[in-house]
């Protein structure tokens, strides 16, 4: 394999700006040209009083779930500012990126799926079947899927959501993307893909839907196909999964 397996290729990276750095660096190291086009901005919640109150009661919970690397970043910042994780508190997350982020903070024995990296994968784990009477707190952004909380409640647990960050849509001129003429686009959330679609008119969507779209989850792939993307490529999770899929695609002559 070439030492520069993405030589000369322009790859659109749509992760939030702070999270795009690693993938952009990997693309550059592989000879590609990363084009940063963040489709979501991430920031701490503006009013953190509820979050701080929930963190003050953390020792009363049996399980804390962090649903994303952002939840780890902002949730753990609030927790550590108030002290430390209660030693008896079980910690869970849905994906390898979040698990790594927790482990970097010195948190061992993280409950996380090893195959399907989403709420469904976490809910299938044996450790989380018999949780009647548990108190569960789910650290997440402002809004999101309710499947995790609803299923925990159905299993007899009491659930609270702790909103520790907020998402917003950056203001982009879609012409910036079109003028760049990317060879491939990476999108890592359904929300980001939906926002991208909102920015595209009929003529613009027709011109962009033929560009290969790399996504790390079946749910995003299904949405992309519904929108009309013609080359949707499902990757393994995380930056490594996206990069490997990009390299494999290019090595096969695209």
> Would you give the DSSP letter of residue 40?
-
| Average pLDDT in the chain | 93
Which residue, 133, 149, 167, sits at the end of a domain?
Answer: 167
The token duo for 7 is 């030589």
Domain boundary among 116, 138, 167: 167
**What is the tens place of the pLDDT at every residue in 88-143?**
999 999 988 899 999 999 998 999 998 888 899 999 999 999 999 999 999 999 88
Read off the pLDDT of residues 146-158 as tens digits, 9 standing for 90 and up. 999 999 999 999 9
23 Cβ partners below 8 Å, 6+ apart? 13, 15, 34, 186, 239, 242, 243
Evaluate whether residue 4 is within a structural domain: no
Is 2 domain-assigned? Answer: no
Mean of the pLDDT values across residues 209-236? Answer: 95
pLDDT tens by residue, 68-99: 999 999 999 999 999 999 999 999 999 888 99
CATH number of the domain to which 226 belongs: 3.40.50.10090
State whether 127 and 157 are in the same domain: yes
Q: Quote the pLDDT of residue 131.
A: 97
Whether 66 and 162 share a structural domain: yes
Domain count across the chain? 2
Q: Would 1 be classed as within a structural domain?
A: no
Question: Are residues 56 and 157 both part of a single domain?
Answer: yes
The model carries a pTM of 0.84
203 contact partners, CB below 8 Å, separation of at least 6: none
Q: What is the domain extent for residue 119?
A: 43-167
Q: Please state, in angstroms and rounded to a whole number, the distance separating the CA atoms of residues 20 and 69.
A: 13
74 belongs to a structural domain: yes
| Domain-terminating residue out of 125, 149, 167 | 167
């Amino acid at each position: 394999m070439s030492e520069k397996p993405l030589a000369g290729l322009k790859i659109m990276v749509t992760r939030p700006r702070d999270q795009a750095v690693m993938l952009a660096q990997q693309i550059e190291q592989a000879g590609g040209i990363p084009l940063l086009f963040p489709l979501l901005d991430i920031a701490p919640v503006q009013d953190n009083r509820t979050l701080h109150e929930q963190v003050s009661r953390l020792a009363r919970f049996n399980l804390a779930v962090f649903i994303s690397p952002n939840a780890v970043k902002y949730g753990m910042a609030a927790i550590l500012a108030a002290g430390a994780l209660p030693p008896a508190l079980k910690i869970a997350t849905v994906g390898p990126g979040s698990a790594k982020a927790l482990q970097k903070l010195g948190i061992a024995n993280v409950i996380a799926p090893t195959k399907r990296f989403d709420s469904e994968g976490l809910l299938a784990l044996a450790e989380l079947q018999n949780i009647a009477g548990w108190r569960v707190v789910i650290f997440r952004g402002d809004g999101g899927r309710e499947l995790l909380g609803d299923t925990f409640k159905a299993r007899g647990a009491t659930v609270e959501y702790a909103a520790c960050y907020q998402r917003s849509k950056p203001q982009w001129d879609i012409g910036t993307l079109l003028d760049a003429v990317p060879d491939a686009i990476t999108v890592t959330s359904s929300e980001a893909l939906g926002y991208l679609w909102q920015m595209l008119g009929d003529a613009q969507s027709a011109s962009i839907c033929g560009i290969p779209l790399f996504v790390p989850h079946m749910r995003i792939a299904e949405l992309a196909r519904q929108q009309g993307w013609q080359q949707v490529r499902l990757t393994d999770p995380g930056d490594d999964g996206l990069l490997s899929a990009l390299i494999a695609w290019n090595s096969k002559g695209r």
